[in-house]
Amino acid sequence: MATELKTPELSRNAAAAFADKWKSYTDEKQHARGFCGDFFRALCGVDDEEVAGIEYEKRVKSTISGNQEYIDVYWKNVALIEHKSAGENLDKAELQARGYWLSLPPGYRPKTIIISDFLNFRLIDVALNRTHDFPLSKLPENIHRFEAIISGNRTRISEEEITVDQVAAKLMANLYLELEDHGYEGHETSIFLIRILFLLFGDDTGMWAKNTFLKLVMGTKEDGSDVGSKLDTLFEILNTPEDKRPKALGEEFKPFPYVNGGIFAEKISVIDFNKKMRVAFVEVANYDWTTINPTIFGSLFQLIKNKEARRELGEYYTTEENINKVVFPLFLDELNERLASAWDSMKELRKLRQDLARIKIFDPACGCGNFLVVSYRHLRQLELELIARLNDLEGKQGVIQLDGSMGLSITLNQFFDMVIII
């Protein structure tokens, strides 16, 4: 079984000793198993690999080749490891490993993929879609990246993740302070910021073509004089079904879909931007929001507004951990079981996909939208797995394009909140 490393110093020292020991080994066939075994013992505290759920040469039918192939190392519910000889192409190895990962049934896919050629590591967090590359010699400085694997704690946040979230929070705080300095605060400002956050995530997570919102922002005048009016128009467009929109709609607004659920329903005052306010806004829009967990919504507002203000405006935030405690037993566990049961049946997979399109998610106490965002993300990921499996069974090999153009059944129109107008 695996045990958590006791201190950062211990883990760095152990990593340094491991790196020094294996720096001269290069051949996969001769030394890969010894390398991995020593990694498990020295750095992960694994005394019995069988008890820990570690398998070598696990057989799997690759979705890439369609052939029976072998995963170098499969650590149940923890990691998938693909090992190569020194100097081999890690990009090819990653493609191979991702094919193995996709071939595993739902519920058996680990959150982490590790690629190594002895001299280099590539650590892939599949859940967060983050990749870290570093040489063996830098293992001590990067051992914290393995801490969640070693401890088995997938909820632990790395220092880097914290830093990324803090940068995002600071950028939003700067925007809020600029608005506040010019008299914009209270309920309408909260609504405005929530909408901007939604658009930022939408721009980077496939709700529409990437950077569509960024292009609109960058196309505004440098003095900020047209920012408020363009955002006001955009909010109105997002609240209008496509078939009811003006025919003379500007090209910059056409790519945005109708968003129901009320997030853009309330009419708010147009904010009169100046040059300094626009600069703060552009900095927010230019940030890469794909690196941010959707639950940053709450953290952002906790940073930029005080407790009393949040209470007055009825703003409440639920962590993703607590959201998952609701959505998994409520519907995701059942859907994942259905996907696993239908894994080899095209008929049942297609039926499941049809049923996914009929699901409606309603949050009657919606604030910043964490519950809906997390639910959307889970359902979208499940459908992507389903589509990939259908393609496999149909003999369609290749990489799914996650650009919003593949006709997903899961749409924003399935998610609702409640808007109370007094």
pLDDT at 24: 93
**Rounded Cα–Cα distance for residues 101 and 98 (Å):** 5
pLDDT at 118: 94
pLDDT at 5: 40
Q: Strand, helix or coil at 412?
A: helix
Q: What is the pTM of this model?
A: 0.44
- Nearest CA-CA partner of 40 in 167, 192, 150: 150
pLDDT at 323: 79
> What are the tokens at 309?
């203000």
| Token pair 């996709």 in the structure block, residue | 102
Predicted confidence (pLDDT) per residue in 172-230, tens digit: 878 888 888 888 888 888 889 888 988 988 887 778 888 899 999 999 999 999 999 99
H or E stretch at 79: strand 79-83
- Nearest CA-CA partner of 237 in 227, 252, 225: 252
pLDDT at 292: 65
DSSP string, 347-405: HHHHHHHHHHHH--EEETT-SS-HHHHHHHHHHHHHHHHHHHHHHHHTT--S----SS-
Residues of the chain under the 50 pLDDT cut? 1-9, 152-162, 299, 303, 306-315, 397-406, 420-422
Predicted confidence (pLDDT) per residue in 49-106, tens digit: 888 889 999 988 765 556 788 999 999 878 999 999 999 999 888 888 888 887 887 6
